[in-house]
């Protein structure tokens, strides 16, 4: 199980929870588990989000995440 911290705009889809726990071993599994548990998150995740694991923005659905990792789901960060 991993705990995922959500930005405030997503909390309305989780019953106002700031963090939720899902079973996942990779970033892709985590995103899929979030949508399965909270279907309202689907459109935001499909539009694109940024995932930070232990303070680092990661790219791709294959990134391993371990129990106890600090995970934040953020609005998509774009470079300029």
CATH class for the domain made up of 2-75: alpha beta
| Whether the Cβ atoms of residue 2 and residue 24 lie closer than 8 Å to each other | yes
Domain ranges of the chain: 2-75
Residue 27 in 3-state DSSP?
helix
Query: Sorting pLDDT into bands at 50, 70 and 90, what band is 79?
Result: low
| Whether the Cβ atoms of residue 53 and residue 20 lie closer than 8 Å to each other | no
CA distance 64 to 70: 13
So what's the pLDDT on residue 78? Answer: 66
Residue 65 in 3-state DSSP?
coil
pLDDT, tens digit, 9 for 90 and up, residues 9-60: 999 999 999 999 999 999 999 999 999 999 999 999 999 999 999 999 999 9
């Amino acid at each position: 199980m991993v705990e995922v911290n959500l930005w405030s705009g997503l909390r309305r889809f989780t019953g106002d929870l700031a963090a939720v726990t899902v079973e996942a071993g990779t970033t892709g599994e985590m995103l899929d588990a979030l949508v399965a548990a909270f279907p309202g998150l689907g459109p935001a995740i499909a539009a694109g989000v940024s995932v930070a694991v232990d303070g680092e923005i990661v790219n791709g659905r294959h990134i391993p995440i371990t129990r106890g990792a600090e995970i934040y789901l953020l609005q998509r960060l774009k470079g300029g």
